[in-house]
Structure 1
Amino acid sequence: MNKIINILLVEDDQLDIIDIQRTMDKMSILHRMHVTKNGEEAISFLEHEASRAAGTYPDLILLDINMPKMNGIEFLSTLRKNDQWKDLKVFMVTTSEEKVDKEAAAKLGVSGYIVKPLKLSNPSSMDCFHLMIDLMNIKNRI
């Protein structure tokens, strides 16, 4: 894939931010990442800073669930209600293995659910990252 993927990472834990960045680098995913610390900041970014013309509009969102102010499920619900954002690809990247969280995310149309910690040796995590790459490749061919 030659195109740089614009990623909005919604994550409040600095170590997880570093881990996600390293995983993207190890998988040779060309990307530009904007980080927000919670759902409120992510909404603000989408409303005021993300621009298609400037090339900062996200191609996809990597989203944690457990965050202050507005958690990942609340953010995803808000995202899906907005016509401009409802079709954005969202991958949950979370420590939560709770069935209720997985079901809520699925009902809100997540493209993948990745359980942290990220490990290149973990097939389910890497399958989701490969799905993410495949989705971006398909989008870029259209």
Structure 2
Amino acid sequence: MLDLILCVDDDPITLMLCKKVISKASFSNKIATAKNGEEALQYFDSILNKKEEKIPELIFLDLNMPVMDGWEFLDNFNTEKYASVNTKIIVLSSTIDPEDHQKSKNYPMVIDFLSKPITNEMLNYLESKLQG
């Protein structure tokens, strides 16, 4: 079981479903949420500034969001500023564009690209992937 996960999505129903499925599957002890990439970066900045809070081990990241989308988040997160953060990212998107899937491979912290909605089977798959 992971200690802390961050779900980044602008849709409150998706966030609620994420929390519900992750909790029910006992996949993580705590689940933090952010409504867009900018909010997620601010969350990481506050953790890095305090230094005593736990850093999420995994992020479920949507791509299409207002303010700052998933790609902009990845561009910012993939900089020296966040180099000490060892968080893995799962792109969780409704896009079916194969170019998006290919583009996500340019980011070393992205370990998978999965289609919404999050499911129990998906978490079982990820659990074995994260342990391996």
Match of 2:93? 94
**1:27-52 deviation per Cα after TM superposition (whole angstroms, max 9, x unaligned):** 22132111111111111111124555
1:52-67 counterparts in 2 under 5 A? 53-55=52-54, 57-67=55-65
Of Structure 1 and Structure 2, the greater strand share is in 2
Which one of the candidate residues 123, 127, 132 is aligned to 1:133? 127
The count of corresponding residues between Structure 1 and Structure 2 is: 128
Task: Let me know the Cα RMSD of the aligned residues.
Answer: 2.1
Query: Is the 1:73–1:104 contact (alpha carbons within 8 Å) kept by the matching residues of 2?
Result: no
Cα deviation, residue 79, structure 1: 0.9
Provide TM-score, normalisation by structure 1. 0.77
Quick one: distance in 1 between partners of 2:112 and 2:33? 19
Secondary structure of the structure 1 residue equivalent to 2:124: helix
Match of 1:48? 46
Query: Is the 1:7–1:33 contact (alpha carbons within 8 Å) kept by the matching residues of 2?
Result: yes
Cα deviation, residue 115, structure 1: 0.4
Which one of the candidate residues 28, 31, 34 is aligned to 1:30? 28
Match of 1:68? 66
Which one of the candidate residues 79, 82, 94 is aligned to 1:81? 79
Q: Between the two proteins, what is the percent identity of the paired residues?
A: 25
- In structure 2, runs of 5+ residues without a counterpart are none
Provide TM-score, normalisation by structure 2. 0.83
Match of 1:123? none
- In structure 1, runs of 5+ residues without a counterpart are 121-125
Quick one: distance in 1 between partners of 2:23 and 2:91? 19
